[in-house]
Amino acid sequence: VNVSATAVYSKYSIEPGPSIDFGAMIKTTKKTQIVVLENRGMLSFEFRIHQAPEDASALESERYKKPCTTLPPLLELFLQDRLTVGMFTVSPCSGSVAAWDQQDITVDCLAGQEGTCEEQLYIDITGR
């Protein structure tokens, strides 16, 4: 009896790189950018996008505790799978990516109050 197995882990890429800059925007205007999450591995994986906690050491303790959306429960029914943080809305903020497939993630910026708005989000990928 021949028995074999191949141990693998999730391989992925995220384009563009680690930051998105919407540049200068006129108040109340909207810009959209796309982030591509590509599965370069042999197994599908799930992902969730979270707002990074202020204390970086709290990142693991906050994992999976926050729901994807920060909206009131009733609105959540109509706008599922969105994460709104400051002037930014990300969708989808969770999902599954099949082997050798990719997921487009939309990041919208609606310029609100004057000044610079900067938020940190992280993408949690299972089995990385």
CATH topology of domain 12-52+81-126: Immunoglobulin-like (2.60.40)
Q: Is the per-residue pLDDT at 100 higher than 90?
A: yes
Q: Is the per-residue pLDDT at 44 higher than 80?
A: yes
- pTM of the shown model: 0.76
Residue 17: the pLDDT is 79
What SS3 string covers the chain? CCCCCCCCCCCEEEECCCCCCCCCCCCCCEEEEEEEEEECCCCCEEEEEEECCCCHHHHHHHCCCCCCCCCCHHHHHHCCCCEEECCEEEECCEEEECCCCEEEEEEEEECCCCCCCCCCEEEEECCC
Higher pLDDT, 89 or 126: 89
Proportion of the chain above pLDDT 90, given as a percent: 54
Q: Is the per-residue pLDDT at 8 higher than 90?
A: no
Instruction: Delimit the domains of the chain by residue range.
Output: 12-52+81-126
Higher pLDDT, 9 or 56: 9
